[in-house]
Amino acid sequence: MTVASTVAAVLVAIGWWLHHDVYRQSARIAEDQAQAPLLALADQLRQGVIPSPRSAVPYEVVAAGRSTPVASGGGMDAFPPGSRHVLPAPPASSRPIDDDDGGFGYASYELRVPERNDAVRSFELGGGTYPVLSTDIWAGELTREQRAALGVSPDAVMQVYVVVLPHTAEAITANIDFLLLRAALAGLLLISAVTYFTVRIALRPVEAIRTATASVTAGDPRERVTVPATGHEITALATTINTTLQRLDEAAGQQRRFVADAAHELRSPLTTLLTSLEVALAYPERTDWPAAVGTAARQTRRLQNLAEDLLLLARLDAHTPTAESGSFDLAALAHRLVEEGVPPDRPVTLTAHTTAPAFVHGSPGDHERLLRNLIDNAARHATSRVRITVRNQVAHVELSVHDDGPGIPAEESERVFERFVRLDEARTRGRGGTGLGLPIARELAHRHHGSLVLVPSDLGACFHLRIPRAPTPNRRPDAGTRRDTC
């Protein structure tokens, strides 16, 4: 539609230009054709002959000092004899037009023909403005007999007017307009048809893309659209849609794996709990009830921790806003968690090393959960000690949690942050972990515009946390140098 509108506008502009150009050229031709009648009238007057009123072109001959026309015809003679001339007479002192080459001289200009109410028949020229050709004849050049025949004085100047009617130019222009209109309509129809079929052919790949995309379901986004080998925007569109479908497929696969892993994690404590209870019920007299209840309590706590971790991951994936926020001292939080210690079944020593308060923005609850997950992970795999270090940098607070356990291979430094991942026998389900602590810690760090990475360490594993620093109340921030090693 846009192409057709543009073409129509161009055709209208061309037609308008052609209309005016043809009219201008036709009017010029009509003026050129009027020179012959003007020359013939002048020749007759110079011979003392009054021209006939029967003429193909309107004309009038007027003379200085005479109120009636010398001669008129072609529509200018629509008045009774003795009537005043229509066109203006030359002044008595005027001289004839001299041609520099000694030939026929004339003037061309536009002149308004006055309206007259004394016409005996239709005077259609009255009130209109027309191009006229005029030439002057001095009566002094004529003989006495010729002047007498024309009825002019010896010193009079006669002016011959030939009115150029626009009928010929208008007729030619009307014919051209008719042809242009037909050509424009035919061209517009042709261009519209070509545009329509061209657009349909060009949009066939889009329709194929739409059909293929409509067949994609949320549960199985494995369908892909065919990328046309056109090399333009439609190719880019198909590639983008395939990329989006690939991401959806990966997200769906990740969701399926997450559900399967969660079900597997839930099945293990449920199986242990159910087995313990069934054995106790089957052999009540031989059951160590305190041990059975302790096993049930441990597995129930494990289920509770797993459910809480799954709920927190769901909130993080949904980007649920945190209700509490502000600035707080991360160093003080680290000291508090160290003072709380670790469960008695883990003979690990916790130490915290800080030099000054380290204020950060965000939710204290989220940061406590993040740091607790790091400490629990380190205490679970440490041999004897876990060291927590908090340092102030220029724009960040850096916290590292370092254990003296078996460590993590460098090639597994990113995989350890995947959900439900346990790397080896030293980091097994039996040690009490859900496989979600480190993924949750990284998600919380990202949520507060920070980062959590595993950095190289000669002994054990060292996790390095960087969080944007908040202004220290009434203290000037200490400068420092970043170090991402332990």
114 and 243 together in one domain: no
* Nearest CA among 340, 335, 372 for reference residue 352: 335
**Is the separation of the CB atoms in 131 and 164 below 8 Å?**
yes
Whether residue 238 is contained in a domain is answered as: yes
Whole-model pTM: value is 0.53
Lowest mean pLDDT among 203-207, 293-297, 477-481: 477-481
Task: Provide the residue type at 142 as one letter.
Answer: L
- Give the per-residue pLDDT at 425: 46
Whether residue 184 is contained in a domain is answered as: no
- Give the per-residue pLDDT at 219: 61
* Nearest CA among 452, 441, 454, 463 for reference residue 313: 441
The residue among 184 and 282 whose pLDDT is bigger is 282
Confidence of residue 480 (pLDDT cuts 50, 70, 90): very low
Q: Average pLDDT in the 144-150 region?
A: 90
273 and 353 together in one domain: no
The domain boundary residue, chosen from 171, 195, 211: 171
Total domains in the fold of the chain: 3
Confidence of residue 323 (pLDDT cuts 50, 70, 90): low
94 and 159 together in one domain: yes
Whether residue 306 is contained in a domain is answered as: yes
Output the domain CATH number for residue 408.
3.30.565.10
18 and 128 together in one domain: yes
Separation CA 299–CA 290 (nearest Å): 14
Lowest mean pLDDT among 6-10, 276-280, 339-343, 407-411: 6-10
312 and 330 together in one domain: no
Whether residue 44 is contained in a domain is answered as: yes
Domain residue limits at 23: 2-171
Whether residue 485 is contained in a domain is answered as: no
Confidence of residue 358 (pLDDT cuts 50, 70, 90): very high
Separation CA 240–CA 73 (nearest Å): 82
77 and 14 together in one domain: yes
3-state secondary structure of 143: coil
343 and 457 together in one domain: yes
378 and 276 together in one domain: no
283 and 342 together in one domain: no
19 and 47 together in one domain: yes
What is the Rg, in whole angstroms, of the alpha carbon atoms belonging to the chain?
A: 53
The domain boundary residue, chosen from 140, 171, 202: 171
The residue among 304 and 452 whose pLDDT is bigger is 452
300 and 364 together in one domain: no
Tokens read off for 170: 């208008």
Output the domain CATH number for residue 239.
1.10.287.130
157 and 260 together in one domain: no
